[in-house]
Amino acid sequence: MNTRYCFVLAVLLFSACNDFLDVTPETRYTPSNFFQTAEHIDGAVVGVYQQNRTLHNSLQWTFGEFLSDNSTFQFNPSDRGGLQTEQLDQFLALSDNGSISSYWNTVYTGISRCNYVLEKIDQVPYANQSVRERRRGEVLFFRAWYYFNLVRLFGDVPYITNTFTTTGEALSERFTKRISANEVYEFILNDAQIAIDKLPVRWEGEAGRATRGAALMLKAKIYMARGTAFHAQAIPALEELNTLGYSLLKNYKDVFDPAFKNHSESIFEIQYSFALEQPSNFLSSFVPWNSGSEILGTSGPAGSRAGLNQPTKSLIRLYRAGDKRKAATIGNFIVLNNVTIDSDNDTIPYLAKYAFPFLDRGQQDVNWPMFRYADALLMLAECYNTVNPLDQNAIGLVNLVRLRAGVPPLSDVSSDPTLVVSTPEELALAIERERRLELAFENHRWFDLVRTGKVEEVMAAHGIDERNQKGDVAVLPQAYTTIRTLLGIPFSQVQNFGMEQNQGW
C-alpha cells in the first residue's frame, strides 16, 4: 500500500489547543483542516494498517504465544536486561510492565486513528462512493480488531468511538471509564458486520487490504471468544467464508514463504516489504542468543537478548513422526564446542517458521499471518462439534488439515488408539491439539487456552516442566504460582485516571 501519507499519523494523535491559542497558522495541518480530499482519507487509512504492523512487530506474539505453553525463553545468565519480558512468561509481571503498557498504548493509538477517519470520511468528496464505503469498511474492521485484542487481554476496557477536542474532555469519565467486556463484544460485532457488508471479496491489484473474508473471520472469532454458548452464531460466518474461494496450499512451509505472499490460504496477512522499505525482522529475536551468525548469516551475530519465543519441549513432543509441520516450525541449533546446553542431543530449539533469508542486514521480506484458512477450518470443526457433538463434518475438516501435514486421519474406528475420536470430548481435545500444532507461533495459543478455560491447568503443568528443565536459577520460586487470565490495567492508567485494576494485580 502507498505510504506517502504516513506523516498524517502525528495529526491523528493531536488534540485541539487550549482556548488561548486563538491564532491558527493557515499553512499548517491540524485535525480540523487536514482531511479535505479522498486522497487524504486514503493516506490516513494506510496509517491504520501501519499501526497494526507496529503491533505485530514485537507485541502480539508476546501476548499471543509467549504467555502460553507453546513458548518460553532461552535463559542467558550473562545478560539479565530482559527481566521484564521473562517475568511475563513466568507470571511474575507487575502492572507497570513495559510491554503491557506498550500494548495498551499501541492499540488505543490504532483506535484513535480509526476514529479520526470515521469522523472525517463523510466530509470529503469521493468521485466513487463505493471507494468511500470500502475505506469505511477497512477502518471498522480494524477498530473491531483492536478492541477485540483489548477485551481478550484486559477484560472490561474504556470504549471510545470519537475523538476529543479538549484536555478536560479527554480526562472525562466517558473516555476513562471501563465498560463490561460483553458490551464491548456487542459493539465490535456491529463494526465487524458493517465491515463484512462493505468490503470486497478480493481487491484488484491491492493485496494486503482487509477483505470480506477477513471481516467474517473476525466476526466468528469474536463469537468463539465468548464461549461455547456462542459457537452456533459463529457458524454462518465460517460457512460463508468457506464459499469465498480459499484453499489450503499443498506445502505447509509455503504458507510462510515470502515467495508466495497473499496466497490462496491467506485470509489476512500483516504486510512487510523490503522493496518498500518496510522490512520484517522477527527472526533476530527468535534465534538462540549464543548462535552467533550460524542462523542469521551476514545479518548476525545474534544479540544477547535473543532466544525469545522459544518452542517448548511439550510442543515439540506433540508432533507425530512424519508431521511436516514440525520441521517447518521448529529449528534446532547444534551447540558448538561440545558445550552441553540441552540434554536432547546438545541442540537448542528455536522458532523457524519465519526463518527465510535476510535481504540486507536485519531486513527480511516475511509477512506475518493474522488469519488463514486452516484456522477457519479448525474453528468451524470446533463449532460443529459443539452444536452437533461428534459431527462427522467436523472430523472431515480436521482431516483436511492433517492430510496436508502428512499425518493419519482421525476416525471413530482405528487400529491406532491415538487416532480414535469416539466421544465429543475426544474430538474437542483432538481439535485443540490440531490447532496447537497447525497454528503454533501465529498468536492464537494463549487466546485458545483462555476461551476454553484451560489456562490454569495447562500453565501450571507448563511451569513444572520449565522448572525441571531450567532449574531454580532461571525459574524463580514464585514463578507460575499466580496464573491470571487477564493482564493488569497499566499502572499509569490506574494512577493517572483512577481506572479500576483487575483482580490479582
The answer to whether position 178 is within a domain reads yes
Q: Are residues 74 and 165 in the same domain?
A: yes
pLDDT tens digits for range 149-179: 999 999 999 999 988 766 666 666 667 889 9
Closest CA to 448 of 479, 415, 476, 485: 485
Which one-letter DSSP state was computed for residue 199? S
Predicted local distance difference test score (pLDDT) of residue 3: 36
User: For residue 258, what is the DSSP state?
Assistant: G
**Residues 19 and 123 placed together within one structural domain of the fold:** yes
Q: What pLDDT does residue 337 have?
A: 57
Look at residues 151, 129, 131 and name the one whose alpha carbon lies nearest to residue 139. 131
Residues 301-313: pLDDT tens digits? 999 999 999 999 9
Question: Is residue 9's pLDDT more than 50?
Answer: no
Instruction: Give the separation between CA 94 and CA 378, rounded to whole angstroms.
Output: 35
Task: Judge whether 383 lies within some domain.
Answer: no
User: Over the stretch 375-399, which tens digit does the pLDDT of each residue have?
Assistant: 999 999 999 999 999 999 999 999 9
* pLDDT for the residue numbered 215: 98
pLDDT for 171 equals 65
Chain mean pLDDT for the chain: 90
Could you tell me if residue 401 is inside a domain? no
- Does one domain contain both 158 and 17? yes
Average pLDDT over residues 136-155: 98
Residues facing 368 on adjacent strands: 270
Q: Which cell numbers hold the place of 262?
A: 497473499
Q: Provide the residue range defining the domain that includes 329.
A: 283-353
Task: Give me the long-range contacts of 326-332 (CB less than 8 A, separation at least 24).
Answer: 327/253, 327/352, 328/252, 328/253, 328/256, 328/352, 328/353, 329/353, 329/440, 329/441, 331/287, 331/295, 331/355
3-state secondary structure 443-468: CCHHHHHHHCCCHHHHHHHHHHHHHH
Residue 81's pLDDT band (cuts 50, 70, 90): confident
- Both 162 and 69 in a single domain? yes
Residue 21, pLDDT > 60, answer no
Query: According to the model, what pLDDT value does residue 13 have?
Result: 37
The domain boundary, picked from 294, 322, 353, lies at: 353
Q: Which of 353, 384, 400 is the last residue of a domain?
A: 353
CA-to-CA distance for 328 and 246, rounded, in angstroms?
22
Q: Which of 7, 1, 5, 10 is nearest to 43 (CA)?
A: 5
- Summarised one tens digit per residue, pLDDT across range 28-67 is 555 566 778 999 999 999 999 999 999 999 899 999 999 9
Query: Are both 204 and 288 inside the same structural domain?
Result: no
How is residue 413 written as a grid cell? 474406528
Q: Cα(102)–Cα(409) distance, rounded to whole angstroms?
A: 43
CATH code, domain with 133: 1.25.40.390
Residue written as grid cell 527465510: 356
177 and 307 co-located in one domain: no
Q: How far is CA 133 from the centre of its chain?
A: 26
Give a three-class secondary structure readout of 403-435: HHHCCCCCECCCCCHHHECCCHHHHHHHHHHHH
Alpha helices in 93-211 (DSSP H): 98-120, 129-154, 167-170, 173-176, 181-198
Does the pLDDT of residue 144 top 80, yes or no? yes
265: in domain = no
186 and 334 housed in the same domain? no
Q: Which residues contact 300 (CB under 8 A, 6 or more apart)?
A: 291, 292, 293, 294
Q: What is the mean pLDDT of residues 268-275?
A: 95
With respect to residue 423, please indicate whether it lies within any of the assigned structural domains: no
Check whether residue 149 and residue 23 sit in a common domain: yes
pLDDT band at 27 (very low <50, low <70, confident <90, very high): very low
One domain, residues 150 and 50: yes
Residues 16 and 135 grouped into a single domain: yes
Label residue 297 left, alpha or beta by phi (over 0 means left) and psi (-120 to 50 means alpha).
left
Q: What is the pTM of this model?
A: 0.91
Residues 455-467: tens digit of each pLDDT: 999 999 999 999 9
Q: Which of the four pLDDT bands, split at 50, 70 and 90, describes residue 442? A: very high
Give the separation between CA 73 and CA 307, rounded to whole angstroms. 6
- Is 487 part of any domain? yes
Residues 288 and 201 in one domain: no
* Cell matching residue 222: 469474536
Of these ranges, 294-303, 340-349, 408-417, the one predicted with the greatest mean pLDDT is 294-303
Asked if residues 221 and 379 have their Cβ atoms less than 8 Å apart, the reply is yes
Neighbours of 482 (CB within 10 A): 10
DSSP E strand boundaries for 335-428:
347-351, 368-372
Burial of 1 (0-12, 13-18, 19+ CB in 10 A): middle
Q: How many domains does the chain have?
A: 2
Measure CA 192 to chain center.
17
Q: Among residues 324, 353, 382, which one ends one of the domains?
A: 353
In a domain? residue 23: yes
The confidence score (pLDDT) of residue 31 equals 58
The band of 12, judged by pLDDT with boundaries at 50, 70 and 90, is very low
Confidence of residue 2 (pLDDT cuts 50, 70, 90): very low
Judgement on whether residues 198 and 297 belong to the same structural domain of the protein: no
Mean pLDDT confidence for 138-142: 98
User: Which of 16-20, 92-96, 296-300 is predicted most confidently?
Assistant: 92-96
In this prediction, residue 16 carries a pLDDT of 30
Residue 372 lies in a domain: no
Query: Beta-carbon neighbour count of residue 357 at 10 Å?
Result: 12
